Amino acid sequence: MSEMRIRKRPKYLDLFSIMFSLPLPGHLSILHRASGAGLFLMLAPLLWLFQASVTSPESFECFASVAAHPVAKLLFAGLIWAFLHHFCAGVRFLFIDLDVGVDLAAARRSAAIVFAVSLTLTALVCWRILL
């Protein structure tokens, strides 16, 4: 009869149903992962662009023409968001590691602040650099 006593625990295995019911800090956390993965995947192109931009006046021209392409600008916009989200969410995680803002209300508030700050900065940086 021991199996009768085993409590049926909820198993949230459907990723998409989790995503729709996730509180704000959950979205922040998943996007922290996604933005980190995206930044990692773009390291090689970014290093190549950095190399072109600093090596010589000729390679700088090449960098400038690549960076001016609409597709490149779209990728830059994504990377700027990824960096700023990863940065802001990372700073929030550091504070939580230091035991600052651990309780539920504070954690939800700081998650909202991270989204507000990172999205505002993304818009600002894209406007100043890409447009």
The alpha carbon of 78 is separated from its chain's Cα centroid by a whole number of angstroms, namely 9
Q: Which residue has the tokens 């390291």?
A: 43
Shortest spacing between CB 46 and another protein, in angstroms: 10
For every residue of 25-36, DSSP letters joined together read HHHHHHHHHHHH
Question: Which residues form the interface with another protein (CB under 8 A)?
Answer: 33, 36-37, 39-40, 43-44, 47, 50-51, 53-57, 60, 87, 90-91, 94, 97
Shorter beta-carbon distance to another protein: residue 7 or 127:
127
Task: Give which of 125, 122, 123 is closest to 89, Cα–Cα.
Answer: 122
Shorter beta-carbon distance to another protein: residue 83 or 111:
83
Shorter beta-carbon distance to another protein: residue 40 or 68:
40
User: Under a CB-based contact definition with an 8 Å cutoff, are residues 95 and 64 in contact?
Assistant: no
Shortest spacing between CB 47 and another protein, in angstroms: 6
